[in-house]
Amino acid sequence: MSAVRGASRPGGLAPVIRRIGVVNSRLTALLLLLVLVFGVVLGNALFNGASIRSMAYQLPELGILSLAMMVPLLSGGLDLSIISTANLVALTVAFLFHALVPHQPGVLWIVMQLVAILAGLALACVIGLVNGLIIARLEVSPILTTLGAMTLVKGISIGLTHGNVVTGFPATMVFIGNGAIAGVPLVMLIFIAVAAVMSVILNHTSFGHLVTMVGSNEEATRYSGVHTKRTLVKVYIASSLLAGIGGLIMMARFNSANAAYGESYLLITILAAVLGGISPSGGFGKVTGLVIALVILQLISTAFNLMNFSQFLTLTIWGGTLIAVAGLGRIRERLRFLQRFN
């Protein structure tokens, strides 16, 4: 029906907006506006190979962690333990690197690195499983469960490392953190792959639909015969697993691991996800929206950096952007409401 109406009014932006969704078109407009403004102000200083490459190196850390936050947000929850999980995974992998991987490159060298990484991700799944079981079975609110898990997991990391930084990884990690294939940073390729997989899972699998259904109305979903508890457990496992991958990326980028890396990212991931159109009360949101939001945040951060503004002003602008986008949405809503009654 709507497709027909769209076709009967040729021209204009309406069909495009319908195709990519209201939120995404608004975000794209904002992105284009920023590109235009920063392009005029900074010109080649911002849009040259080196700057774009540095953005491509920086974005994936926050990007994968935001994906980890996105999945529980879609289900109407929240995961505050992602950063501490990322750090514990990085520390575990770092420890296993030291314990297992031989100094000489060879078959065993490769196999043992894989074993270490897989063990780290398995640990992430266990943390997610515990979170999920407490949330789904004991019906503790997600904020509280993951708040407790955050403290507990960080506590384990601090207890084991005494807060020290762990360094000295095999050359593979340095390559993952700083290498590029055909000019594209490897971390960026990993992020694109993870985002694509998540997009497919959330939009084209039954699990993805169940997540958004649980987020929209858990009760109704349960009455329609869905095992919502099992879905919730999977949501938190997915979140922790993504956090673990984020931890590996951070570890490769910093070439070290620590119990307290990236803590300022925690609230920023929520900001990025909500800016990307993921409803904080659950049910709605797309990976593409999140990716556009991440590009916007990164663009602001890099541009401000080039203009020699304090990195803290970037935080202000990030927060302000979210408030402004939400405010514009409200104003449009009011206008439409007024139009209907006039």
Site membership for another protein, residue 167 (CB under 8 A)? no
- Where in 204-233 is the site for another protein (CB under 8 A)? none
Interface stretch with another protein, choices 25-33, 104-112, 133-141, 194-202 (CB under 8 A): 133-141
Nearer residue to another protein within complex by CB, 112 or 150: 150
Shortest spacing between CB 188 and another protein, in angstroms:
25
Give the count of residues interacting with another protein (CB under 8 A): 48
**Contact residue for another protein among 312, 336, 340, 342 (CB under 8 A):** 312
Residue with Cβ nearer another protein (220 or 326):
326
Q: Does 26 bind another protein (CB under 8 A)?
A: no
Minimum distance, C-beta of residue 43 to another protein, in the bound complex (Å): 25
Q: Which of 28, 145, 212, 239 binds another protein (CB under 8 A)?
A: 145
Q: How far is the CB of 144 from another protein (least distance, A)?
A: 4
Task: Rule CB under 8 A: say whether 314 interacts with another protein.
Answer: yes
User: Taking CB under 8 A as the rule, does residue 45 contact another protein?
Assistant: no
Helix H, strand E, coil C: the string for the chain is: CHHHHHHHCCCCCHHHHHHHCHHHHHHHHHHHHHHHHHHHHHHHHCCCHHHHHHHHHHHHHHHHHHHHHHHHHHCCCCCCCHHHHHHHHHHHHHHHHHHHCCCCCCHHHHHHHHHHHHHHHHHHHHHHHHHHHHHHHCCCCHHHHHHHHHHHHHHHHHHHHCCCCEECCCHHHHHHHHCEECCEEHHHHHHHHHHHHHHHHHHHCHHHHHHHHHHHCHHHHHHCCCCHHHHHHHHHHHHHHHHHHHHHHHHHHHCEECCCCCCCHHHHHHHHHHHCCCCCCCCCCCHHHHHHHHHHHHHHHHHHHHCCCCHHHHHHHHHHHHHHHHHHHHHHHHHHHHHHHC
Query: Is 338 an interacting residue with respect to another protein (CB under 8 A)?
Result: no
What x-and-dash track marks residues 243-282 binding another protein by CB under 8 A?
--------------------x---xx-xx--x-----xx-
